[in-house]
Structure 1
């Protein structure tokens, strides 16, 4: 692990020194900048600029006119986690406007293919498209994966009073590790219609099939088997299919790294047996994000205080064990830095996070963040939502990867309870 940190941070120190030399080029622009407005892309410096400057084989244009920059970022998706082993893959994130920038939000596209030494293979396609003048918004994804998922049972890690043997296993207050293996096929699509500036209403459908579910454990029965028996599911396979009804309000200025504005999304998910779902169920999802731009008069627009609240509430019916809401189970799998995905989970889940983002270099090549979060669950065994909370927090470094789309390379280190901690790498902010 120590060698991994050296490989990650030593090159960044070298990049920092190089970028500081170029920082003086942007000072005059910063002093002239209108309060609160983003800097012109030509005054910023990103990884693409760095590679162009140090490339000895770069062809210089004779007329001095710079080449048009692409809105697509490619990144080798490297990671390490003791639970999954080494991960290698490729990720591409792109953004463009299908109308005038003043009245049309940026559309975002992403795709990735990853492999880990523990046998996880995961690929996906994602889109978030806004048509001209934001009249329509289409969101959707397609994913196929051979998964090895860590499992720590249900609940928030708080012991139950006088538990039965099965309740003790599934509550798992010592947070012993189980490993679930399965194959998943998923597809979802939502369509929103603009009602007024920033306000959208929509509907959609989702299909998620899990097959060949098995648990590697010395304890029998496993939490998945116990929960499935309690609630009438097949522990080896299940379907989570249904309809979505959505209400969205959005004024944030950029989906990749917002400086100001609001993003909120309320989704009613209704699992339907007539669509092939294992059982009927209704889940209400809420996602609220607010961005405060601090000190815009100082000429640094990426001085931001960001707030995030995410909730998944069970209104009726039951979900399969692997589909229970919890840590990292939000649509972008970004919640709960400091814990592995699914570390806490239950019938209902609530999560809050605050993050302070600050510039390091004036040309925005390097910036930093500090963050803290809390989460709570309803565990079906008497512990209600909001009764107990678990915290985590950390700090991170941002490298401007593509200034055209405001895409950052994010390197975070977070610490939670129960000995949980880790390094988190990726493109774009957590929220």
Structure 2
């Protein structure tokens, strides 16, 4: 689990928003469109007596940098405080260069957990090069439900907030660990909207502690899986090389109205780079957006497919793909992070997005998703697609920054085995 409950009070944190000016203009909506919109920053400003600026938006620099403090509580984490910041910059001619996005967040909790993370999605002039990467360092806790789909054991049986349960579950196995994760990918455009790239990834896990590891035959999932697959139980490393092919015709990163995104990643984990075992994975992602109205572009049908296939070799337990394994840890609304996982994993989601108010401050979504994972076991294997776990729900969107199309997202999702909860985030899930 790579993201924790520092987002629990993100909605409250908006009230303390601090904004700055970007270094350059972005490719944004026309001034006549922006003038009709009201975002959260303007609403907050009006509460403090600041009037909405009706001047020509082309003559001023929009605010593209935002910082949000937060605080929260979870039984596994304790009380936590943190801060998250996002920036939109343009490194080139804004007429032909996509806005680059930089994110950073950090939190600390009363139970000694800590996390620092940075992410970059940078486009050079005319989108010739695209650099994507992240750095994560921390000590955290994962709620462990085992491998595969189709098992009712360790079901949620309760309410969750932002992917974590609001109360302790005696059947769930907490898994504490420290980690360092570094990855960078560099893409070069080889045709219109098509990029080819390569990169490296380093994932190091230490001090892995199964809190329920007891007796001569431990039943903790990480311990049992690691013994069966020949991995150390308390630490392991998974480093490798990446080859990438990406197609991107989206009109915007944060909130697309149209276009398509395809990302294919071939990952080879190598022992000469420090991995405990060699392995080859293929990760494939597709995002497609259909505009449903020429009059109002916010009526959108969006589709998301995310998958990871183990082609050969073996993976350590904390590297198994599953719920919340995407870059922003938001895959699988309706379930806790890490609820399902497998050596191979597939996820699919369909979402309808629609406006609520004419000033675009409020909009909504309705979504449905499904996920499936495989498991190699000594007694019986679970094949990919053999068990499918559905989910769905509804959501509210609050326009946070109209210049960057940033939304505050609040979703209510449900799943199988009594799973249900509220999920909060900044910018669309996909």
Aligned to 2:149: 156
Specify whether residues 417 and 78 from structure 1 end up closer, same or farther in structure 2 by C-alpha distance, changes over 3 A only: farther
Deviation digits for residues 256-299 of structure 1 (CA, Å, limit 9, x no counterpart): 111110011000111011111111101100010001111122xx
Q: 1:148 to 1:253 in 2, by over 3 A?
A: same
**1:367 equivalent in alignment to 2:366:** no
- CA shift, 1:392, in A, is 1.1
Structure 1 Cα separation of the partners of residues 196 and 279 of structure 2 = 22
Residues 37 and 305 (structure 1), Cα distance of their counterparts in 2 relative to 1, 3 Å cut: farther
Distance 1:357 1:147 in 2: 34
Corresponding residue to 1:179 among 165, 174, 185: 174
**2:13–2:68 contact (8 Å) kept in structure 1:** no
The alignment status of 1:197 with 2:196, answered yes or no, reads no
Query: 2:133 matched to which residue of 1?
Result: 140
Q: What secondary structure is seen at the aligned counterpart in 1 of 2:41?
A: helix
Distance 1:231 1:264, change over 3 A: same
**CA–CA distance in 1 between the matches of 2:134 and 2:11?**
33
Aligned to 2:289: 291
Partner of 2:84: 91
> Is 1:316 aligned to residue 312 of structure 2?
yes
Offset of 1:9 from its aligned partner?
Answer: 8.7
**Structure with max Cα Rg:** 1
- Counterparts of residues 12-411 of structure 1 (less than 5 Å): 40-56=33-49, 58=50, 68-79=61-72, 81=74, 83-158=76-151, 172=153, 176-217=171-212, 220-297=218-295, 300-381=296-377, 382-411=381-410
Change in 2 beyond 3 A, CA 1:174/1:404: closer
Q: Give the conservation status (yes or no) of the 8 Å contact 1:47–1:402.
A: yes
Change over 3 Å in CA distance of 1:74–1:271 after alignment to 2: same
Displacement after TM superposition at 1:174 (Å): 5.7
Shift of 1:97: 2.1
Aligned partners of 2:285 and 2:306 also within 8 Å: yes
C-alpha displacement at 1:114, in angstroms?
Answer: 1.9
**Alpha-carbon offset, residue 8 of structure 1:** 8.9
Higher helix share: 1
2-structure distance, mates of 1:141, 1:87: 22
Per-residue CA distance 1:79-124 (angstroms, 9 max, x = gap): 5555545543211111122233442211111001123455432211
Please report the TM-score for the alignment, with normalisation by the length of structure 1.
Answer: 0.84
Q: Distance between the aligned counterparts of 2:283 and 2:56, measured in 1?
A: 52
Asked if structure 2 preserves the Cα contact closer than 8 Å seen for 1:94 and 1:405, the reply is: no
Cα distance 1:363–1:227, how it changes in 2: closer, same or farther (>3 A)?
same
Q: In 2 relative to 1, CA 78–293 (structure 1 residues): closer, same or farther, beyond 3 Å?
A: farther
Unmatched 5+ stretches in structure 2? 1-8, 15-28, 157-170
Other structure's SS at 2:63 match:
coil
* Greater CA drift, 114-123 or 223-232: 114-123
Q: Is the 8 A contact 1:374 1:391 kept in 2?
A: yes
Q: State the shift of 1:54 in Å.
A: 2.3
State the alpha-carbon separation in 1 of the partners of residues 416 and 280 from structure 2.
31
Q: Distance between the aligned counterparts of 1:315 and 1:70, measured in 2?
A: 45
- For structure 1, the residue ranges without an aligned partner over 5 or more in a row are 1-6, 13-35, 160-171
Paired residue total: 387
Contact 1:312 1:348 in 2 (8 A): yes
Structure 1 residues 64 and 404, CA gap change in structure 2 (3 angstroms)? closer
Partners of 2:367 and 2:267 in 1: CA distance: 30
Residue by residue over 1:212-247, the C-alpha shift from the partner in whole angstroms, topping out at 9 and shown as x without a partner, is 001112662311111111111001000110100000
* Alignment correspondent of 2:411: 412
